[in-house]
Amino acid sequence: MAGIVGGGGGGGVGKESVVTIVWDSGRQRFASQDGQAYLEYKLKPPPPAVSSAVALPVNNGKQVMDVLHTFVPASKRGLGLASKLCIAAFTHARDHNMLVLPTCSYVSDTFIPRHPEWNGLVVPESFNPKL
């Protein structure tokens, strides 16, 4: 399944551009319409429930979207395109009751610190203690 999941302007003054983000569920990626910029993820099933009356299941039993890699062609960097890909991925995770594991350093070191509104979706153990 594939679909258009977001678009709009971005960046700062003088950087406005319209970008449409497409979701390709088969390849597990969000991408620009030309496919040159993309965010790759892998879905991880929720871990098996712990048979204890008090212990909460790991990750609240939620499926995890492991964001493996983000790529933007050199000619289009610095315009917020990777940020738009992340917003599409986080929005998808929120709408599907998933958590996000930021394996990609752009997500962990740049996107999440700049977008704390998404903190609630991040796998708690994955927060970078250096930040």
Residue type, 56: L
Residues 27-56 that bind ligand COA (CB under 6 A): none
Report the C-alpha gap between 31 and 39 in whole angstroms: 6
CB of residue 3 to ligand COA, shortest distance in Å: 22
C-alpha span between 27 and 44 (Å, rounded):
15
Q: In what order do the strands lie in the sheet with 29-32?
A: 2-8, 19-24, 29-32, 38-44, 64-71, 99-102
Q: 105, 113, 119, 128: which one contacts ligand COA (CB under 6 A)?
A: 105
Contact 40, 69 (CB under 8 A): yes
Is residue 104 annotated as part of the catalytic site, yes or no?
yes
| Least separation in angstroms between CB 38 and ligand COA | 9
Helix or strand run (H / E) with residue 62 = none
Q: How many residues bind ligand COA (CB under 6 A)?
A: 16
Q: Give Cβ neighbours of residue 113 (< 8 Å, ≥ 6 apart).
A: 131
Q: Which stretch binds ligand COA (CB under 6 A): 16-24, 46-54, 72-80, 116-124?
A: 72-80
Q: Is 82 in the site for ligand COA (CB under 6 A)?
A: yes
Is 112 a residue that touches ligand COA (CB under 6 A)? no
**Residues recognised as catalytic:** 104
List contacts with ligand COA (CB under 6 A): 69-72, 77-83, 104-106, 109-110
